[in-house]
Structures are given as C-alpha cells and as structure tokens.
Structure 1
Amino acid sequence: MAGKNLDPSSSPRALLGAELRVARERAGFSQAELGEPLFVSGSFIGQLEAGTRRMHIEFARQIDDILGTDGFFSRNCGAAAKSKYPDHFAAAAEAEALAKAIREYAPQLIPGLLQTEAYAREVFRAYQPTATEETIDELVTNRLARAALLSDPTTPLFWCVLDEAVLRRAGENTAILAEALRHIASLVRSRRIIVQVLPFSAGFHAGLDGALKLMSFDDAPPLAYVDGIGMGQLFDDPATVARHTLTYDLLTASALSPRKSLALVESVAEDYEHDQHA
C-alpha cells in the first residue's frame, strides 16, 4: 500500500474508505478498537470506511501510525477532502450522494435537489448579489449536478416536507416559482418523490428551529444535518439523530397528506402562472 496513491477523479472518499477497511482488517483491529485511540466511536470508523464521513488530516496521520500504512492516508486524505461545495455543506452533500433514503424539511426554500435552474439562479443571486456571472454559473451547475441523484427511478427515497412559506416566496418574476412548483409536481406524479406541505394553519410546530435533513445508508449509521446562514452541522450521535427523527415525524404528522399537498402545489403554481399572464 505504501507506494500507491488514489486517483482523485474516481470517488476518492469511497476509495479511501475501502482502503481503510482493508488496512484495518489486515492489522486485526475492529472498528471500535481503531476508534479508541482516535477518541471516536466504532460507528465513526464505519462511516469513514463507507465514505459517508470525510477523513481529516489529523485522523489520517494517527491512522497511518496505528496501522503502519507508511503515510498512505496522510498523502491521500487531501484528494478525498476536495469538494465543489462550501465547507459547511460538503460533508452533507457527499453523504447525500450515498444515501438510500433522504428525508428533508424545508422551511424557506425549495430543497436543492428539487430546484430548477432558474430558481437556483435566483437563490444564489440573492445570497451573493455582488458575485460574478461565472461564479453564479458554477454554483448553479453544481446544484443541478446534485439533482442527478433523482434521475434513478428508485433510489434514493426522497421524502420532503415543505413549509407553505416555500410555496409563497416568489420574486418579481412569478413564472420562476411557477416552473419550480410544476417541476416538483411532475416528480410527485411520476412517483419519484414524496412531498407534504406544512400549512400555515398548522401554527406552531416541531420544525420552527430551521431546516433539517435525515439520511440513512445500507452500510453505515444514519446522519442528521441541520443548517443556517453560512453554517451547518452533521450529526451521527444516535441520540441526536433520534431526536431529529422525532422532529421530522412530528412534522409529517402536522402536514397535509401527499394527495392534498400535490393539489396545493399545483394550485399555487397555477395562480402564479395566471399572475404572470396578467
């Protein structure tokens, strides 16, 4: 292993995780035993091996020392850490690509996986009003690339709760939001995603603290991601994930049924289309 480097063009995080599993088993360590001197859980080591967690350089150096891998992980964790997403979201975006199920609560904006090009452009321009067109183009391209996850007809399962505010937040060009809502309705009607709308009439609810994303995997523990303005945090602690899962369950219980939600999404889209024509 000492003389080999990973190819950064071919899912470096997944490759690094696979190499970690091989090296750990060759050295005779369980995941928990390797995690102990690193002061992390065995499940965290499992997430590194599954590629759902990023290996930071300080872990890489210690792993090289413990497993006797002659600097392999120190050399290659840089390639695995490279991301086209902001630092606070990179780990969540890369875990999202490996998830078998994604459940998301969106309080203000259409989730990135469901955004159209025009809608994403409006969002990024609002975030960065002084950015160049080249910067905005790159951000939009990366966001649309994430949405390719939904091109598979079966995986991942995507279940989203949209606050009604998401449906009502239109800019000067209401056609942009109308198109975005029609896109969501199309995905629902093709049975690719599940969408529920949390109406204003629900009043106070469990998700008032902000956006939430839950991800589950075939070969790694589940994760929860919460974010705010320019910040986000990924959780793997079972108790924390369970608490956020309860929050999501309460939101689905307060939301409209999928059938009524689809009707509302299409009705609001039609209203915005009429406004544009007028």
Structure 2
Amino acid sequence: MPAKKDPDASVSVPCFYGAELRYKREAAGMTLEQLAEGSFRGISFLSQIERGERRMPIDLARHVDRMLETDGFFERRCEDAAKARRVGIAEYFADVAELEQLARTIEDWAPMFVPGLLQTRAYATAITRSAMPRAADAEVEEIVGARLGRAKLFARETPPKFWAVLDESVIRRRVLPPAGMAELLDHIAEVVRATRSIVQIVPATATTYPFMTGMTRIMTFVDAPPLVYTEGLHSSQVIDYPALVMEYRESYDLLRAAALSPEASLAMIEAAAEDYRNDAEQQHRPELRAVAQEQLQQRDRR
C-alpha cells in the first residue's frame, strides 16, 4: 500500500485548516470513524475536509473541538476557511461551488442565462454588471474570475458528466454585441464537443413545460446522495430530501423530453452564432447594412 500523502497546508486556508484537523486527530489517536461518531456526518465528508476540498460547517467544528479538546480552535477558524472558499462567489452559492468539484454528474436548467460553466469572460462580465451596477471594477473582476475558474473542472482527468437544458431565449437575448454573442455560442459548441457534454434547447414553440421559471441544478456524487439546487435573484435553496429530489428528477426528465435533440440543439446554437457573425459584419460594412435594411423594408411591404 502506498504511503499516505500529507495534505499541502500551504495551498490555501481550507488546506491549512484540513491539515491541522488531521494533525490534531492523529495526535489524539483517533480514526476518522471515531471522530465522525455522533456528528451526523459521514467519514468521507470528514476526509474531504482534511484534504481541503470542503469547508467545515459550524456544527461539525463544535463537535470536533469537543471530541479533540481543542478549546474552540476549529469553531473560531471555521468562518476564515469558509471566506477563503467564497472569494468571488456569492455566499449562497459557496457550498454548491464546492460540491460541483466533487460531482459525478451536473444537470443544469437555464431559463434566463447561460450557465456559469459555459460562460465567456465578456458574457460573465455583462451579467455581473447588470446584477451589480454599482460594484467596483475589481469586485466585478473577482466574481468573473471565480466563475471562469470553475470551468477548470472540465480539464480534470475524470470531469463530471455535464448536461444543460437552455430555453431558446437564452441564445437569442442580445446580452452582448453580435460579435460577443457569436463568441459565446461558439464557446458553448466547443465545450460540448471537447467534453462530450450535452446541451439541449427548449424551443420557443414549446408553450408549456416543467421548470418554466427559476434556475435549477441536479448533482449526483459517487459516495453521497444526490441533491437539487434552485436559485432566485439573491437567494437559493439546496434540497436533499430524497422524495423531493426524486420529484425534481422526474420534472427534469420531462423538460428534456420537451427540448430539441442534442444534435438539433447544437445545430441551432451554431446557426445562431453564424447569424450573430453576419450581424457583426454588417455593422462594420455600411453597404451590407443598407442592403439588409432594404430587404427588411421590402418584406414589410409585402
């Protein structure tokens, strides 16, 4: 059996926190099983904290302090570690951002905006600016950087299987100038092909379907139960009650049934990207713009 690798405490505050937890636990002669007893948390959860992969909830920090007799050390440092994991990420999304790094599958429903894992820098900046018009440039850049950084999970040796369903209005809404929208849709198509992800479009002709409002995400894990994440404007909810998760699962399956096939969806995305490119070209060539306007006028006179 290979030697157990010590966590690198210099990587981040959570890694330092996890390394200290492991040091204190082993110094007390405790196994993970013994430390987890009475905490209502699993052994794998504690192991992930020791590796710096997850933050420690305050109730678990108090349990650890009591079991290891550490005089409140972990409770005091709990919020410090949590803040380090939230840099550039909304507090209500912090846990989900951590969990997506551990997920086996991620399934998104996006009725209004392109999911964060598929955004370009220009699109992420525009969306952030629209939500935070008074924010300083540095704050916006921090948020955008964190969002783009999450997509690094696609470069892992075994990335999660990603599936997203988008309302057609998401790719038609001109959040950016035509060239920026073309870049966004080209990026989505590139991610789909490079990662073998699946993106489906619910067409505008679909009048009713599940999840008509509100972003929803379903995540599954290798060693933990699945959960659902729903998001509003400034708040969110994580749902892990099995019966309710199953209901969301069924609704998501119905939503996929209402969407175009993956092949047809990708073709729509690429066609929309081409339309945006043509629009961008017309903006830079007055003669083409004049021809396009004349064609529109002739169509309107018919």
TMscore range, shorter length: 0.7 to 0.9
Aligned equivalent of 1:207 = 211
CA RMSD of aligned residues (A): 2.9
Aligned equivalent of 1:62 = 63
Offset, 1:53: 6.2
1:262 alignment partner, one of 248, 261, 266? 266
TM-score normalised to structure 1 length: 0.83
In structure 2, relative to structure 1, the CA distance for the partners of 1:258 and 1:153 (3 Å cut) is farther
TM-score normalised to structure 2 length: 0.77
Aligned equivalent of 1:38 = none
* Aligned partner of residue 171 in structure 1, secondary structure: coil
Which 10-residue stretch deviates more, 166-175 or 67-76?
A: 67-76
In structure 2, relative to structure 1, the CA distance for the partners of 1:70 and 1:48 (3 Å cut) is same
2: distance between equivalents of 1:15 and 1:256? 45
Offset, 1:26: 3.4
2:58 partner letter: I
Which 10-residue stretch deviates more, 153-162 or 64-73?
A: 64-73
1:202 partner letter: A
Structure with the larger RCO, 1 or 2 (CA within 8 Å, 6+ apart): 1
1: distance between equivalents of 2:270 and 2:32? 58
Aligned equivalent of 1:166 = 170
Q: Where in structure 1 are there 5+ consecutive unaligned residues?
A: 1-5, 36-40
2:147 partner letter: R
Conserved 8 A contact 1:106-1:212 = yes
The percent of aligned pairs where both chains have the same amino acid is 42
Q: Residue by residue, what CA displacement relative to the aligned partner does 1:93-143 show, whole Å, maximum 9, x if unpaired? A: 111122121111111111111101111111111111222222222221111
Residue 196 (structure 2) pairs with residue 195 (structure 1): no
Q: Which has the larger radius of gyration?
A: 2
In structure 2, relative to structure 1, the CA distance for the partners of 1:196 and 1:13 (3 Å cut) is farther
Conserved 8 A contact 2:198-2:262 = yes
1:12 alignment partner, one of 12, 15, 22? 15
Aligned equivalent of 1:116 = 120
Aligned equivalent of 2:190 = 186
2: distance between equivalents of 1:197 and 1:81? 36
In structure 2, relative to structure 1, the CA distance for the partners of 1:56 and 1:11 (3 Å cut) is closer
In structure 2, relative to structure 1, the CA distance for the partners of 1:13 and 1:264 (3 Å cut) is farther
Matches for 1:1-278 after TM superposition, within 5 Å: 9=12, 11-12=14-15, 15=18, 19=22, 26=31, 29=34, 34-35=38-39, 41-42=40-41, 47=45, 49-51=47-49, 54-66=55-67, 68-82=69-83, 83-84=86-87, 85-152=89-156, 154-171=158-175, 173-278=177-282
Conserved 8 A contact 1:60-1:74 = yes
Conserved 8 A contact 1:188-1:194 = yes
Instruction: Kindly tell me the number of residue pairs found equivalent between the two proteins.
Output: 266
Conserved 8 A contact 1:8-1:79 = no
1: distance between equivalents of 2:213 and 2:221? 25
In structure 2, relative to structure 1, the CA distance for the partners of 1:16 and 1:162 (3 Å cut) is farther
In structure 2, relative to structure 1, the CA distance for the partners of 1:27 and 1:145 (3 Å cut) is closer
Offset, 1:254: 1.2
Q: Residue by residue, what CA displacement relative to the aligned partner does 1:77-108 show, whole Å, maximum 9, x if unpaired? A: 23431221111111111111221211111111
1: distance between equivalents of 2:16 and 2:38? 19
1: distance between equivalents of 2:104 and 2:265? 24
Offset, 1:7: 5.5
In structure 2, relative to structure 1, the CA distance for the partners of 1:147 and 1:28 (3 Å cut) is closer
2: distance between equivalents of 1:16 and 1:89? 25
In structure 2, relative to structure 1, the CA distance for the partners of 1:50 and 1:219 (3 Å cut) is farther
Q: Residue by residue, what CA displacement relative to the aligned partner does 1:183-235 show, whole Å, maximum 9, x if unpaired? A: 01112223431111111222211112311111122222222111010111122
Q: Where in structure 2 are there 5+ consecutive unaligned residues?
A: 1-8, 283-302
